[in-house]
């Protein structure tokens, strides 16, 4: 943790004095001077800074990590072809609304798949593997989801989460965190404009439909719900099925139901 004159902090930063990510505390005016200096000299990018505690604290990553971070961002941007989605992704990388999430995330987890999809799968929030790689459903749960998609010959689909950052220790998202991310989630679905949505798990579903999380999730299965006039099918999250494998047949039934409904919309 560093206290002191902003010129001294900048000099120490340039001299490589800080070997690890540091926390700097200073007044608002000095924060502006430090941030502007580092941004203007291309020593950091905006997503390398984390604001919290009413703009009086900032975390600056070690400048030696900058090149790696830049390469990762460049790779991920090439995966996004739609210009509107690309702009939205870039906006999300600058979001610092949730201190607990932004201060611990490795990557923003945006989405993967066809950008003009018939189906959008909506999950809850990224896990450790997703946070590490920057893409949704790439861990064990993701492999199970991919297995279901292949089994039912599902094509032209997109996968995303309601939250774009991993909650620490994979805890459930807080209501405030879901509210903070809602504008991004809403805009992403608006751009994708799918024919049908498959909600994976209760948190993914509750971001789409008014749903009391205390209600048994099984009660919303086998029905068509709506999000902005788009049909929504609810099924269990693959992470839940990994813990309750006997319920997997219900997911297959739900996905078959979804595919029948999709055929009616074509």
159/149 Cα distance (integer angstroms): 11
pLDDT > 80? residue 162: yes
Reduced to 3 states (helix: H, G, I; strand: E, B; else coil), residue 135 is coil
Q: Percent of the chain, pLDDT > 90?
A: 55
pLDDT > 70? residue 107: yes
- Examine residue 77 and state whether it is found in any structural domain, yes or no: no
- Examine residue 2 and state whether it is found in any structural domain, yes or no: no
The pLDDT of residue 72 is 32
The pLDDT of residue 46 is 39
Report which of residues 104 and 251 the model is more confident about.
251
134 and 20 in one domain? Answer: no
The pLDDT of residue 182 is 94
189/146 Cα distance (integer angstroms): 21
The tens digit of pLDDT for each residue in 7-30 reads 666 666 666 655 444 444 444 444
Sheet with 225-227: list strands edge to edge. Answer: 111-113, 157-161, 119-123, 196-200, 230-235, 225-227
Instruction: Give the chain's mean pLDDT.
Output: 79
Task: Show Cβ contacts of residue 158 under 8 Å, excluding neighbours closer than 6 positions.
Answer: 111, 112, 113, 114, 115, 117, 119, 120, 121, 192, 194
Task: Find the range with the poorest average confidence among 26-35, 132-141, 194-203, 256-265.
Answer: 26-35
94 and 51 in one domain? Answer: no
Minimal CA–CA distance to 195: which of 123, 260, 135?
Answer: 260
pLDDT > 60? residue 43: no
- Examine residue 91 and state whether it is found in any structural domain, yes or no: yes
The tens digit of pLDDT for each residue in 44-67 reads 443 333 333 344 344 444 333 333
266 C-beta neighbours (distance < 10 Å), count: 6
The pLDDT of residue 50 is 38
Report which of residues 207 and 33 the model is more confident about.
207
| Tokens of residue 266, six digits | 């074509």
45/103 Cα distance (integer angstroms): 16
Reduced to 3 states (helix: H, G, I; strand: E, B; else coil), residue 111 is strand
Residue 131 near residue 166 (C-beta atoms within 8 A): yes
CA–CA distances in Å: residue 132 to residues 15, 105, 139, 187, 206: 30, 8, 10, 24, 26
- Examine residue 3 and state whether it is found in any structural domain, yes or no: no
Report which of residues 5 and 14 the model is more confident about.
14
| 235: β partners | 200
137 and 96 in one domain? Answer: yes
Q: Which whole number is the average pLDDT over 163-187?
A: 92
54 and 140 in one domain? Answer: no
Confidence band, pLDDT 50/70/90 cuts, at residue 211: confident
Domain total in the chain: 2
pTM of the model as a whole: 0.71
The tens digit of pLDDT for each residue in 60-99 reads 443 333 333 333 323 233 468 899 999 999 999 999 999 8
123/211 Cα distance (integer angstroms): 15
Q: How far apart are the first and last CA of the chain?
A: 59
- Examine residue 177 and state whether it is found in any structural domain, yes or no: yes
Task: Find the range with the poorest average confidence among 152-161, 209-218, 239-248.
Answer: 209-218
Give the domain CATH number at 165. 3.40.470.10
pLDDT > 70? residue 170: yes
200/242 Cα distance (integer angstroms): 13
140 and 222 in one domain? Answer: yes
pLDDT > 80? residue 115: yes
155 and 47 in one domain? Answer: no
- Residue appearing with tokens 């390469």: 71
The pLDDT of residue 247 is 96
Range of the domain at 125: 83-264
22 and 126 in one domain? Answer: no
103 and 56 in one domain? Answer: no
204 and 99 in one domain? Answer: yes
Q: Which whole number is the average pLDDT over 172-198?
A: 95
87 and 57 in one domain? Answer: no
114 and 30 in one domain? Answer: no
106 and 23 in one domain? Answer: no
Rg for the chain, CA atoms, rounded: 21
């Amino acid at each position: 943790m560093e206290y002191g004159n902003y010129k001294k902090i900048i000099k120490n930063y340039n001299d490589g004095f800080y070997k690890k990510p540091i926390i700097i505390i200073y007044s608002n005016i000095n924060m502006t001077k430090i941030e502007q200096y580092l941004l203007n000299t291309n020593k950091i990018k905006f997503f390398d800074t984390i604001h919290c505690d009413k703009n009086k604290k900032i975390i600056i990553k070690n400048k030696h990590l900058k090149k790696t971070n830049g390469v990762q961002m460049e790779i991920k941007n090439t995966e996004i072809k739609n210009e509107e989605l690309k702009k939205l992704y870039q906006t999300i990388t600058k979001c610092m609304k949730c201190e607990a999430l932004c201060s611990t995330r490795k990557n923003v987890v945006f989405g993967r798949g066809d950008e003009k999809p018939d189906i959008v799968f909506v999950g809850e929030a990224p896990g450790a593997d997703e946070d590490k790689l920057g893409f949704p459903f790439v861990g064990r749960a993701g492999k199970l989801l991919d297995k279901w998609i292949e089994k039912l010959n599902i094509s032209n689909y997109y996968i995303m989460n309601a939250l774009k950052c991993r909650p620490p220790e994979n805890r459930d998202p807080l209501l405030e965190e879901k509210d903070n991310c809602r504008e991004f989630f809403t805009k992403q679905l608006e751009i994708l404009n799918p024919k049908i949505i498959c909600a994976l798990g209760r948190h993914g579903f509750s971001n789409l439909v008014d749903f009391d999380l205390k209600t048994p999730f099984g009660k919303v299965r086998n029905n068509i719900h709506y999000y902005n006039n788009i049909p929504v099918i609810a099924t269990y999250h693959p992470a839940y099925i990994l813990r309750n494998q006997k319920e997997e047949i219900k997911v297959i039934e739900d996905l078959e139901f979804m595919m029948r409904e999709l055929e009616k919309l074509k």
